Structure 1
């Protein structure tokens, strides 16, 4: 890549685009920089929409910081077509926009349910009383005291829990035998069902919604539910229409190489719309890492994107749950701990001494520690029972001499809603913000779903203890 100024245009105005413009600015990009977003408002945190729907957050709480002042940000502007030969973007507002380098950060769009004829208009938009949950406008449609959520994947569960926290009556309908059936074992799924039921959510497993009229949702077995609003949380798919129409190579997502280039060398893709090595990117962490790598590439230092392990943690303060996907075939062994009385379970699959897959429910310390092991690719500690039981085994101490160990811990994301790392929190603490409330105001950690509150509290306690011990050791005798 040349360091000569070039016109960079980013299609999409979410967290990935913001991260890219910020990093380009920091790295000294000199050319014109334009961001096109089809939503009327500026960039905001999409993962926090459930908290907006529950009334826990206001719309302004979701707002992301502005792009660097030199960025030309065009909201309410859709890109309708790409002319790759002339390097032009056709705009829905009329006219064309030239580019030297184009970055597609178009994200993902909702996947309609399989039996959607009676729920959606022919153009794919929801019928009255039915909504997806992908935009701020969608969140405003979640009205009424009784709501039905269709789909018990991560978003469906988070939405149901958020609405319940907001005092609504919620029924969660799922086509599978138990929530998250594609990711969790049957036993863990049963425990999750118990926890959801104990929290006041009515679950209808093995069912789907076939129609909705004002005040009523009808299931495929004929049961009718009192339902003011039906929320469709049936998955998302990468937005590839613009790329496909332009002749770029696509599969589930827009195909990119290790430098995040598409089949057109002048066009890149990052975030939920991109697919590398047969896997579509998912989540804000992957998008952030991709934006960082691409910023270096576009400013003269070609930097391959290091694929991240697929770690999913439920954004809900009521339930501590994480699962990581198997990375390459079957593990050598499986280790599990089950507490039926308290509906807690931890199960990991191990290969070559490292965690390959996991599912942990109801053990917050184990959730945190196993996530750290997977993200840092550290070996399983000698005290693996302590790991699964949630007894802090000190992974940062045991692996302190590992290459990159300290950096891996520092880069561990504590608050997934706002992408706040342990390093960010430690820096804020060192700057004098010593309580959870002060750290929240400084970094926004805990202001999303609240699920990281205990981790932030523990970090405060550990830093305070470390500072006290350091002062004691250094004091004259």
Structure 2
């Protein structure tokens, strides 16, 4: 049923309620407003205004202020007629009456409901992690929310060492941030290499070597089994004496609310190509979603889903055909980009690797098209490679190899990017839109580029610099 149908039937604006106040929810609000949709309510369990969760490690590192990662203040919503309810927990969905029950037993009615509940951390099976009172051990911190980040920052004074449990994207970001803060850091990873969900063994080993050079010890094929008075005990008998233990391993879609409402779920909330759940009035986007048997876990699919759902709710005929996986590691001195699924994609492998210099680059090419890529240690051509990946460009036999060779300068690679090349995968921003901006502040506020994973910052800065220089030369 379209918006016009509902409005004609009820004579009032359609009530669209979004449960969750993360990055996907904010993007959905923006997309709905752009299409003239009113009657929007957003309910968030955290007490903070929506913020960029990806940049929490930058706050931990000290390169971003807390306020710099806020995506939209309360006033932004108020000025646009959107009701924002923070610090509010939804405990039940009463589908037959189309109302939400809140923790204080009050109710919120909806015509269309969108679940954007994200994901929740999974505690690893480490004895002594949780104390008798149900609280984490005083040395142990999770790292997923702004409250987690603030708690860890408060624990840093006086701390000299830290162990990060988990060698995925988040784990490496936290490890690097703490290292920059001056702590002695060790990473414990159960798999045989770092970033095992994104890259192959060769790339993981190159990354491990780079991390070691930066002063961080890495333990792979090792699991933490016990939190003892002497430190964190590993399954090989080694005891890591440490002041802090940070948990970054494991997370799962937050589907408890959906399950309580008897919606269809497996690993995530199951949705169709319109992002609709098993209830025709309830939709879902982001990390909590399972579409075509797949869950996401990155911001770019959530934003992509938000755009598709907003169009559908506004009455447009659209379908979601699956997300593009574009993962970037946001950590100082560690450059990693992963496009697609390079470990499972079918095709020919074009690869360049130099462990000594910390560079590993791999393209998976099928019928001349890049279907996946891994770039470690050198992102000078990431813009061009991403463009070919997005557009399914059919390359000549020699082009994939040329793309793995460094340009004469990173700036020259950026200058040659066509205007329609996507430089920010998170926000879907092209080089032309960046060139149209006057400054980096203009880039952030008008396009949202650099506000996702932050991996496109250097390319955006080069585009702004070269464009401004070109304008000055033209004027002269």
TM-score normalised to structure 1 length:
0.87
d(CA) in 2 for partners of 1:419, 1:145: 40
d(CA) in 2 for partners of 1:122, 1:307: 44
* Structure 1 stretch displaced more, 224-233 or 212-221: 212-221
Match of residue 413 from structure 1: 424
1:292 is paired with a residue of what secondary structure?
Answer: helix
d(CA) in 2 for partners of 1:320, 1:57: 19
2:147 paired with 1:132: no
2:98 to 84, 87, 91: 87
2:436 is paired with a residue of what secondary structure?
Answer: helix
Counterpart contact for 1:317–1:452, Cα < 8 Å: no
2:28 paired with 1:17: no
Counterpart contact for 1:110–1:235, Cα < 8 Å: yes
Match of residue 384 from structure 1: 400
Deviations 1:87-139 (Å, cap 9, x if unpaired)?
111101222211110000001111222x2342135897533221211111111
1:161 is paired with a residue of what secondary structure?
Answer: helix
* Residue 451 of structure 1, CA deviation: 4.4
1:312 to 327, 336, 350: 327
* Residue 151 of structure 1, CA deviation: 0.5
d(CA) in 2 for partners of 1:243, 1:464: 50
1:140 is paired with a residue of what secondary structure?
Answer: helix
1:374 to 389, 401, 426: 389
* Residue 227 of structure 1, CA deviation: 1.4
* Structure 1 stretch displaced more, 188-197 or 382-391: 382-391
The change in CA–CA distance for 1:332 and 1:36 in structure 2 (over 3 A counts) is: closer
Match of residue 82 from structure 2: 71
Match of residue 2 from structure 1: 3
1:291 is paired with a residue of what secondary structure?
Answer: helix
2:166 to 151, 176, 184: 151
Counterpart contact for 1:9–1:101, Cα < 8 Å: yes
1:281 to 272, 291, 296: 296
* Residue 439 of structure 1, CA deviation: 5.3
User: May I ask how many residue pairs the two structures share in their alignment?
Assistant: 455
The change in CA–CA distance for 1:286 and 1:332 in structure 2 (over 3 A counts) is: closer
2:62 to 42, 52, 55: 55
d(CA) in 1 for partners of 2:230, 2:99: 48
d(CA) in 2 for partners of 1:211, 1:276: 37
Match of residue 247 from structure 2: 232
* Residue 445 of structure 1, CA deviation: 5.7
Match of residue 10 from structure 2: none
* Residue 464 of structure 1, CA deviation: 4.2
Tell me how large the CA RMSD over aligned residues is: 2.9
1:463 to 448, 459, 467: 467
Match of residue 346 from structure 1: 361
2:401 is paired with a residue of what secondary structure?
Answer: helix
| Unaligned ranges ≥5, structure 2 | 8-12
* Structure 1 stretch displaced more, 359-368 or 81-90: 359-368
d(CA) in 2 for partners of 1:278, 1:327: 19
Match of residue 436 from structure 2: 427
The change in CA–CA distance for 1:201 and 1:448 in structure 2 (over 3 A counts) is: farther
2:261 paired with 1:254: no
Match of residue 109 from structure 1: 120
The change in CA–CA distance for 1:161 and 1:9 in structure 2 (over 3 A counts) is: same
